């Protein structure tokens, strides 16, 4: 039976080459913050309280804060920057084959116009959540859990958008994505799923 392996530094022993090389020796294990409470909405009215509450529930259930909160990827979540993006990136290239991986930095989901979603239309935001298409309609967000998010119904998707719009703006700019083959000075963790070659 084929096994699915999550590429984490805890699988070093399984990744060692026959020649004795240990390709993941330069990595260290980390424990991410996997469950975070979503911040309370700041802007709601009587008509929107229930919808915003549903959006908050879905954001928590989907674990958005585990990536989009600064420090959460290494187990040191900064509550003041909840959902305000991460300066710690996610590498999406195979660490056994690519020394300088492609890295993306989870975006600021607060309503800040300059650094967050405040400058996006609802349509752009819905598309980014559901299909992984970035703000400018080009490419896809490689580390978004699109297989789950694509199944959101319109009502739930609208609730998430309304909740994100209700958040206090937090000015927090994250680094630009780094293409594969280019070095970055920013901290990042590896993300990905690989299948073993064993039967």
149-191 confidence digits (pLDDT tens): 888 999 999 999 999 999 999 999 999 999 989 999 999 888 7
Asked if pLDDT for residue 2 goes beyond 80, the answer is no
pLDDT confidence band for 15 (50 / 70 / 90): very low
Q: Tokens 């800040």, residue? A: 112
Asked if pLDDT for residue 112 goes beyond 50, the answer is yes
pLDDT confidence band for 47 (50 / 70 / 90): confident
Please give the residue that has the higher pLDDT: either 162 or 2: 162
Give the phi and the psi of residue 86 in degrees, each rounded to 5: -125, 130
Rg (CA), the chain: 18
Identify the sign of the CA torsion 121, 125, 128, 134.
positive
State pTM to two decimals: 0.77
Q: Is 30 exposed, middle or buried (0-12, 13-18, 19+ CB in 10 A)?
A: middle
Which pLDDT belongs to residue 18?
A: 39
Work out the mean pLDDT of the chain and round it to a whole number. Answer: 80
Which pLDDT belongs to residue 123?
A: 93
Is there a contact between 39 and 69 (Cβ–Cβ < 8 Å)? no
Distances (CA, A) of 10 to 46, 49, 101: 48, 43, 19
Is there a contact between 180 and 103 (Cβ–Cβ < 8 Å)? no
pLDDT confidence band for 33 (50 / 70 / 90): low
Residue ranges of domains in the chain: 4-195
């Amino acid at each position: 039976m084929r096994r699915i392996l999550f590429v984490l530094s805890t699988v070093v022993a399984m990744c060692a080459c026959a020649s004795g090389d240990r390709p993941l020796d330069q990595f260290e294990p980390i424990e991410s913050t996997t469950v975070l409470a979503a911040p309370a909405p700041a802007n709601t009215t009587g008509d929107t309280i229930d919808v915003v509450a549903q959006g908050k529930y879905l954001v928590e259930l989907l674990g958005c804060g585990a990536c989009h909160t600064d420090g959460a990827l290494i187990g040191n979540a900064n509550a003041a920057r909840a959902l305000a993006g991460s300066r710690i990136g996610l590498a999406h290239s195979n660490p056994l084959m690519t020394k300088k991986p492609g890295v993306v930095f989870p975006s600021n989901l607060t309503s800040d116009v300059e650094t967050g979603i405040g400058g996006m239309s609802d349509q752009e935001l819905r598309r980014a959540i559901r299909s992984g298409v970035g703000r400018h309609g080009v490419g896809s967000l490689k580390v978004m859990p699109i297989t789950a998010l694509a199944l959101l119904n319109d009502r739930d998707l609208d609730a998430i958008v309304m909740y994100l719009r209700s958040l206090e703006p937090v000015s927090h700019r994250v680094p630009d994505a780094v293409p594969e083959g280019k070095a970055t000075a920013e901290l990042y963790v590896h993300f990905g799923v690989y299948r073993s070659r064993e039967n």
